[in-house]
């Protein structure tokens, strides 16, 4: 399987719960490597732009309010099949439907406050990584 990159966000609820390290351990144990990371407080404009694909959806205003409610960790994960692997580690959008042992099953409380974001395709990953990081901010990792 090809080595690829995906955008991951540890959302405000998980940052507030102080489980950043526990979530990063899931990625490390699955063989994914961080190649960029930063903690940021998103502006409304940044959150709206990031989730622009959802702007006509009824939950859009709540989603933007939540994503700007506190700092987030924005990061790029690299590894074989990283996009799908990250989605599997995250679990279903609604934590009540997320498989046991996934990040959302263990750390999220609701579909609105669901601990993590992960790119849903290679195309989304390329766009989302470019949205938050300059090329020179992505580090080469020795494997
Ligand atoms: P994300 O983009 O955050 O990784 O989540 P996802 O792919 O699993 O879900 P997506 O469909 O992209 O939705 C983005 C976020 O919007 C909220 N949402 N609420 N109330 C609802 O029906 C609903 N549907 C989605 C969730 O917080 C989801 O993470
Ligand atoms: Mg999504």
* 129 CA from centroid of ligand 1 (Å): 18
Phi, psi of 31 (to 5 degrees): 90, 10
pLDDT of amino acid 102: 98
| Angle (CA) 71 26 87, round 5° | 80
Taking the CA of residue 113 as reference, the ligand 1 atom at the shortest distance is 27
Q: How far is CA 108 from CA 83, 105, 114, 125, in A?
A: 20, 6, 5, 22
pLDDT of amino acid 138: 97
- The answer to whether 54 is a known catalytic residue is no
Q: Is the whole model's pTM more than 0.90, yes or no?
A: yes
Report whether 104 belongs to an annotated binding site: yes
Report whether 66 belongs to an annotated binding site: no
pLDDT of amino acid 17: 98
Give 10-residue mean pLDDT values along the chain (143 residues): 96 98 98 98 98 97 98 98 98 98 98 98 98 96 74
pLDDT of amino acid 141: 81
């Amino acid at each position: 399987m090809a080595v690829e990159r995906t955008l991951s966000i540890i959302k405000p609820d998980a940052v507030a719960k102080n489980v950043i390290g526990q979530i990063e351990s899931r990625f490390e144990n699955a063989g994914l490597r961080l190649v960029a990371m930063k903690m940021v407080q998103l502006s409304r404009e940044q959150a709206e732009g990031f989730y622009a694909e959802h702007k006509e959806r009824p939950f859009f205003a709540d989603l933007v309010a939540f994503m700007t409610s506190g700092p987030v960790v924005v990061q790029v994960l690299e590894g074989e099949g990283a996009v799908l692997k990250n989605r599997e580690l995250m679990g279903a959008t609604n934590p009540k439907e997320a498989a046991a042992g996934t990040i959302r099953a263990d750390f999220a409380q609701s579909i609105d406050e669901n601990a993590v974001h992960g790119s849903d395709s290679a195309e989304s990953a390329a766009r989302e990584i470019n949205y938050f990081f300059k090329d020179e901010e992505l580090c080469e990792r020795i494997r």
